[in-house]
Amino acid sequence: MHLSKVLVWRVIHVPTVLLAALLILLVAAPASGQALRGDEQERGGDGFLLEQNYPNPFNPTTRIPFVLDEGAFPGGREAVVTVRIYNVLQQYVATPVALNHPRGAAASLEELAYSSPGRYEAYWDGSDQAGAKVASGVYFLQLVVNGRSQVRKMFVTK
């Protein structure tokens, strides 16, 4: 191969290959860092389960199902629920709204109290906290119930 072709290949293709490898590592790596600590256990001893959002991938909106079992209501107390969305840099993006909650359809899922077990849903319109539509990519969905959390990946496509 001619020297100029080798230099062009190195300048154009090597950074592209490295970027692709980095993206694969980001998508495949489990969430780390304090903001996203959690597990994807199947309804462990925590009394709740974060199900996969649907559709996934999505554009522009998605629904986020979660289940609260009896274990989420220790001593008959209410379950305190928060749902947050983070980007791959683990930066806070948005908080979805609760669907069919006694506070109403526009209730933000930030420390929202639930009084009985059941299957519930949240709704996210694909906007960040400033109201701008988010870019295509991988996002992390975190459900926190009574201080315990579970995390799932979701994909926004344009």
Among 25-34, 59-68, 114-123, 142-151, the least confident range: 25-34
Round to whole Å and give the CA distance between 65 and 121.
4
Asked whether the predicted pLDDT for residue 42 surpasses 60, the reply is no
DSSP secondary structure letter of residue 51: P
Return d(Cα 19, Cα 15) in angstroms, integer.
6
Residue pointed to by tokens 């295509």? 136
Q: Is the pTM of this model over 0.85?
A: no
Distance CA 146, CA 158 (A): 35
Helix segments in the chain, DSSP class H: 3-28
